[in-house]
Every structure is written in C-alpha cells, then in structure tokens.
Amino acid sequence: MLAINLHNLLSWSLLFKDIKIKMYRTVICPVVSYGCEAWSVTLSEVHRLRVFKNGVLRKILVPKRDEVTGKWRRGTL
C-alpha cells in the first residue's frame, strides 16, 4: 500500500523535483536501510540497493534521450 501511494506521489507533476528528492532522502532511504547496522551486506544486496536508488531517482528526474545526439538529459514534468 505504501509503495503504491509513494509511486503516485513521485509521479505527481505538481510537486517540485527538489521536494521529491528531499522526500527520498528523509523518508525512503531510512525505511529501506532500516536495521542495516546488523546486516552483513553482500555484493548482490549492494547491487539491489543501487538499482532501487536509480529507479527512484529515474522516477523523480524523468530522464529523456535526445533523438539527435543519443545522450540522456533531464526531462520536463
């Protein structure tokens, strides 16, 4: 339930990107890393955390690929 609401909130175009990034830093990161002091983190878990982080930031920043140059740029919401 939380993930669905958070997904919709990060997709919402009326919120500024800096507010979404602050929400990511203050709400999402602590929830995802809760109890990590007791983990023995493996490389696969580091990879999964990095994939999650990139997915959330991709959702916030909405990157677009320029058709002419092929380079990535930030999209507009």
Quick check: is 45 in a domain? yes
Instruction: Provide the domain limits for residue 33.
Output: 15-65
pLDDT confidence tier of residue 77, bands split at 50, 70 and 90: very low
Distance CA 31, CA 9 (A): 16
CB-CB contact of 23 with 32 (8 Å): no
pLDDT digits (tens, 9 = 90+) for 9-24: 777 778 888 888 898 9
pLDDT score, position 1: 46
Quick check: is 26 in a domain? yes
Quick check: is 76 in a domain? no
pLDDT score, position 47: 93
- pTM score: 0.70
Quick check: is 8 in a domain? no
Quick check: is 74 in a domain? no
Rg of the Cα atoms in the chain? 15
**Helices (H), ranges, the chain:** 2-11, 17-23, 29-32, 43-61
Distance CA 77, CA 32 (A): 26
Quick check: is 10 in a domain? no
Quick check: is 50 in a domain? yes
pLDDT score, position 14: 82
Quick check: is 77 in a domain? no
pLDDT digits (tens, 9 = 90+) for 47-66: 988 999 888 888 888 877 77
Number of domains in the chain: 1
